[in-house]
A and B are shown apart, each in its own frame.
Chain A
Amino acid sequence: MLSLLWLIPLLPLAGFLSIVLGGGRMRGSMVALIAVGVVGLSAAMAAAVAIRFIYLPPAGNSFTQTLWTWIPATGFMPEISLRLDALSLVMVTVITFVAFLILLYSAEFMGGDEGYARFFAWMDLFVASMLVLVLADNFLLLYLGWEGVGMCSFLLIGFWYRDSANARAARKAFIVTRIGDAAFVVALFLIFTHLGTLTIQEAAARASREWPVGSGLAVAAAALMLAAAVGKSAQLPLQTWLPDAMAGPTPVSALIHAATMVTAGVYLIARANAFFTLAPFVQWLVAVIGAVTLLLAAFAALVQCDIKRVLAYSTMSQVGYMFLALGVGAWSAAIFHFMVHAFFKSLLFLGAGAVIMALHEEHDIFAMGGLRRALPGTFWAFLIGAASLAALPVVTAGFYSKDLILLCDWTSKSGSVWLWAAGLAGAFLTAMYAFRLVFIVFFGELRTKPGRKPGFRMGAALAVLAFFSLSAGFIQIPPDIVNFSPLSELLETSLPRLSAVSVGTQTEALLQAVAGLAGLAGIFFAWFFFRHPALVERLVLTPLGSAFRRLWLEGWCFDRAYDALFVRPYIRLAEINKDDCIDLLNRTLARACESMHYLLIGTQNGRVRQYAAAVTLGAIVIIALMVLL
């Protein structure tokens, strides 16, 4: 069974190829069948592989499949090889499963779009790249997947490319993440030149052997990888692209910009954990970036009016939680939260998509309202998603994963009260903005009459995701309730254990109660403000209130700051420096080539006499060279 691992990424790739090559001639239903079918098959394969892996673990709890070596040369063996261990197993299972549901949803959601085949081709290519990313056994292949998902993200954000705003958003996402990608490439060069290998496990082992903790090289490698992760995962300071990325179709936002691609940074840090353990400062930085991002993004989410932008900031904030967990060494808690987040956030996006579709492309939440009765199915799905996001105690999956992260912040040796407090404040804010959305969109009076209701395929995807948003948490229950944690046991076969100071069961229970209360308080405040709109009005009208509102609405004005600090100076500098020596050199080279071309082309005059003369002259020169030298 495990030897069929290669099929998992290959199937979506085959789907992509068949749609690209034959999509023009296929009917829409055929395209959807292929696109959804291959990912479904891939998910089934992943499930089968998972069962085999869990019940009959391979030797060393990992399975490496070397497919071939691309271009072997002395000292450089770029192998195309896949590695399945607990970490990649969880990633692969979640990715294929969520992608299948989202594609099923899209088959209906995207119906009638003129780019139907194009959409599915790119979605399949994305899934294939994402699977290559998480299954790669070496950094080079990982990088291929990394760039592949980046390219698909670019193509899908600008899917409706005729609107130049969408194309701009796509470009922004591409350029901002590219900063991180460049850092990643430098990290790869560093690792290859100093460790002599690009195989992830081997490089990690050699680094642990050869580099002392806190050495310059270890810090540099970890910091560069952190930069890459920050770009991909939309964390401070490279977070500005994510809200704009909502220009793409809603299923794209659900799959790429919520469930999978934005968590690639989390995966990278977890995968390269050895490097971060060697650089404690960088690891501390991971936690701090996570904590700050989760707070800033949560504040920004509080005031947004566009339903998708709320969710975008929420994604940023939730990925911040994952970074927080990674930063304190709670590797498996981060992956647990990734899994749960993939379920509830894609549920929220798909629910939002259903609302948007019903209201004829309306994104403004204040034009919605009262949809509880008009769209009951969507309402329940969205409510479950919001509850899970708000970490409603005991019944939702979000509670278990977020609680674990908060607990780890408290107990970890590298944790601190401040990180815990930031996480707790974030939990409060999360609950507040999540339920602000629920109340404004689904309660109150009906403002716009809904049109098309979700059909079977959209409904089924919502229902399954809703189920998992509630139940996925039960595979990792805190020990003071029931001692049942198969997920962390599984993950700890490939990720290091959290080194924690033990606290009593009572402290643990107390921490859980505090975290639960924070969420409930957030929900209460959301309800309170919703019932008293006049109060909100007054708050917003105070000078301080309106200033903060504007600040948060623009996501802390990072765009404006970057524009003033980097973009405009850069463009100005480029303009001033248009004719600098480098350009001059380039232009001279080009011009020299061109003039040499015109010089040489003169010899090609079609006169056979001269051609023959050239042959003879050449012969004389060569004889001279050979005999005389």
Chain B
Amino acid sequence: MVRGDFFILLPLIITGGAAVAVMLLISFRRSHLATATVTLVALGAAVISVICVAAAAPRQASALLILDSYALFYMGLIFAAGCAVTMIAYDYFERQTDHREEFYLLLLLATLGSAVLVSSNHFASLFLGLEILSVSLYALIAFHRERLPSVEAGVRYLILAAASSAFLLFGMALIYLERGDMTFFRSTQIASGVPAWSPLLLAGTALLIVGIGFKLALVPFHMWTPDIYEGAPPPATAFIASVSKGAAFVLLLRYVTLFGLHSGSVQSAAIAAIAVASMFFGNLLALREEKVRRVLAYSSIAHMGYLLVAILAAGPLAAVAAGYYLVAYFTSIIGSFGIISVREGREGGGDAVSDYRGYAWRHPWLGGAFTAMLLSLAGIPITAGFVGKFYLLAAGLESSLRLLVVVLVASSAIGLFYYLRIIITLYGPPEAERQGAAITPAVSLAGGVALTALTFLLIWFGAYPAPLLRLIQAMVGG
């Protein structure tokens, strides 16, 4: 390791250091505000450091990590999402009494794991990142240890994630057996192009897809999603839905691109099948679901299916489309869970769709923001979600993925139903006995700032996508 390596690893070092600092802080003095502030500042500093080190990219830091502009862009996105989740978590835990500081520690570690994942170029760093992320997630999901559903969800995730990690490890072993190398790709191979496919390599890749597919909750590895989304504390769910899935997706995209699994190769048929199944199953499962969090869980399955279209489309537009869609999805899903978490932290109450009746009348701002988030998830114009979906379609059509594009459109149409159902309920006539029970202020400063910023970004990226598009083109398009 030389000095340049340390410099370019600055974002990871900051996050890792912050985790240690927070741990020490907690052991000396328990202070919710101080812990949250340190976390927020550290993640903010990590975002800034990403911008600072961007000039030195690309650079291979040791054999494990590659910090190219692709990795740095998604790292920045992950840290920014971490900031938003921190603020939402502060709002959520403000009214709870015991053991809330550790949440931020786990959050920092999970973010670190995700950042390692997006910059990994080696199976060792892949596994390392994935496990840092997963182990933190077990505890984050079961964070309400006094509540049975939370603990149950944690255990469930632990069992299934461990099983899927086993698949992943086995896949790695097979690939290593074939290639005798743990890096994704050696420079010599970049020149010679796509590696020759042997049965062992194929089987290894298939198992790798199983492992990553579990993290992404793609059909048929999707079944954990609703239970975990429902049981985990909402800020943790926001993190799982966005950062954890996003990091796994970024890794998969890098791997598939390097190995040339797209571009109509026969091997891509399996991925296409997963994509079609995820899009349909996700949207169909959400159709008549009565709980808002479970609806969003099922819908996230479909969203990951949409993103697979970008993986399969190899054109120059595909990487940009994936980037834009991820940014839009991060914004909308963190925002949605942000509002769920604000509501649950303050008002309590059930999670059924009907419990949201008249919510927008009681809290016009939050209701409006939730509406915007849901419309973005549904892909309605002038929200970021629309632009993201538009580019996914454009990328798909560019590579003549007719079937996938048709499925994307048809399943989105199914999806519209359940998003609109929630929105209509939000604006329904409020129940009489609830009317007077509005809590003021409806949201704390931190939560308010985060939600306002997310809503603003959502509209901005939807109406004026040019700056973000340029950034993505420069960072991941090349």
Chain A residues in contact with chain B, CB under 8 A? 24, 68-74, 593-594, 596-598, 600-601, 603-604, 606, 608, 610-612, 614-615, 617-619, 621-623, 625-627, 629
Contact = CB atoms under 8 A, between A and B. Distances in A.
B270 A600 contact: no
Interface stretch (B6-14, B68-76, B285-293, B421-429): B285-293
28 contacts: A68-B464, A69-B466, A71-B465, A72-B469, A73-B390, A74-B398, A596-B284, A597-B287, A598-B288, A604-B227, A604-B285, A608-B156, A611-B223, A611-B224, A614-B220, A614-B223, A615-B160, A615-B163, A615-B164, A615-B167, A615-B210, A615-B220, A619-B206, A619-B210, A625-B269, A625-B273, A626-B202, A629-B269
Interface in B275-315: 281, 284-285, 287-289
B414 interface: yes
B210 A604 contact: no
A611 B214 CA distance: 11
B419 interface: no
Nearest to B157: A608
A157 to B, nearest CB: 22
Nearest to B156: A608
Contacts of B269: 625, 629
Nearest to A623: B206
B284 A593 contact: yes
Given A71-B465, A618-B220, A601 B289 contact: yes
B215 to A, nearest CB: 12
5 nearest A-B residue pairs (beta carbon)? A618-B220, A625-B270, A611-B223, A597-B287, A623-B206
Given A623-B203, A626-B205, A593 B267 contact: no
Contacts of B288: 594, 597-598, 601
B457 to A, nearest CB: 16
Contacts of A604: 223, 226-227, 285
Contacts of B463: 70
Given A593-B284, A601-B285, A629-B267, A71 B220 contact: no
A24 to B, nearest CB: 7
Given A73-B390, A73-B394, A618 B156 contact: no
B370 interface: no
A617 B202 contact: no
A600 B281 contact: yes
A593 B287 contact: yes
Nearest to A76: B394
B333 interface: no
Given A604-B285, A614-B221, A626-B206, 15 more contacts: A24-B364, A593-B287, A593-B414, A596-B284, A598-B288, A606-B227, A615-B167, A618-B210, A618-B213, A618-B220, A619-B167, A619-B210, A625-B269, A626-B270, A627-B199
Interface of B: 156, 159-160, 163-164, 167, 199, 202-203, 205-207, 209-210, 213-214, 219-221, 223-224, 226-227, 266-267, 269-270, 273-274, 281, 284-285, 287-289, 317, 364, 387, 390-391, 394, 398, 414, 463-466, 469
Contacts of B289: 601
Contacts of A622: 206, 209-210, 270, 274
A463 B219 CA distance: 71
Contacts of A608: 156, 159-160
The interface residues of chain B, by DSSP majority, are classed as helix
B160 A612 contact: yes
Nearest to A598: B288
A602 to B, nearest CB: 10
A272 to B, nearest CB: 25
Contact of A617 (B163, B220, B227, B317): B220
A603 B466 contact: no
A598 B167 CA distance: 30
A598 B286 CA distance: 10
Contacts of A626: 202-203, 205-206, 267, 270
A594 B287 contact: yes
Contacts of A615: 160, 163-164, 167, 210, 214, 220-221
Contacts of A617: 220
A72 B387 CA distance: 10
B207 A71 contact: no
A597 B415 CA distance: 12
Nearest to A614: B220
B201 to A, nearest CB: 10
A246 B33 CA distance: 58
Given A73-B390, A618-B220, A627 B160 contact: no
A593 B289 CA distance: 13
Contact of B206 (A24, A610, A612, A627): A627
A623 B207 contact: yes
Contact of A618 (B221, B287, B391, B466): B221
A340 B414 CA distance: 52
Contacts of A611: 156, 160, 223-224
Contacts of A24: 364
A545 to B, nearest CB: 53
B72 to A, nearest CB: 25
Given A597-B287, A619-B167, A71 B267 contact: no
A182 B167 CA distance: 55
Nearest to B164: A615
Contacts of B205: 626
A618 B270 CA distance: 11
Nearest to A80: B464
Contact of A627 (B202, B274, B364): B202
A522 B221 CA distance: 83
B214 to A, nearest CB: 7
A618 B278 CA distance: 13
A625 B267 CA distance: 8
A68 B467 CA distance: 9
A615 to B, nearest CB: 5
Contacts of B156: 608, 611
B284 A627 contact: no
A228 B281 CA distance: 43
Contacts of A621: 220
A211 B314 CA distance: 40
A600 B164 contact: no
Given A73-B390, A627-B203, A600 B285 contact: yes
Contacts of A619: 167, 206-207, 210
Nearest to B226: A604
A257 B346 CA distance: 47
A78 B133 CA distance: 42
A598 B270 CA distance: 26
B150 to A, nearest CB: 15
B363 to A, nearest CB: 12
Contacts of A73: 317, 390-391, 394
Contacts of B209: 622
Nearest to B198: A627
A597 B207 CA distance: 29
Contacts of A627: 199, 202-203, 206
A183 B241 CA distance: 43
Interface centre among A72, A603, A611, A622 (most CB of B within 10 A): A622
Nearest to B222: A614
B69 to A, nearest CB: 21
Contacts of A600: 281, 284-285
Contact of A629 (B210, B221, B266, B284): B266
Nearest to B277: A618
Contacts of A603: 223
A63 B262 CA distance: 46
B260 to A, nearest CB: 14
A23 B140 CA distance: 41
Contacts of B210: 615, 618-619, 622
Contacts of A597: 284-285, 287-288
B112 to A, nearest CB: 27
A603 B225 CA distance: 13
A225 to B, nearest CB: 24
A621 B210 CA distance: 10
B449 to A, nearest CB: 15
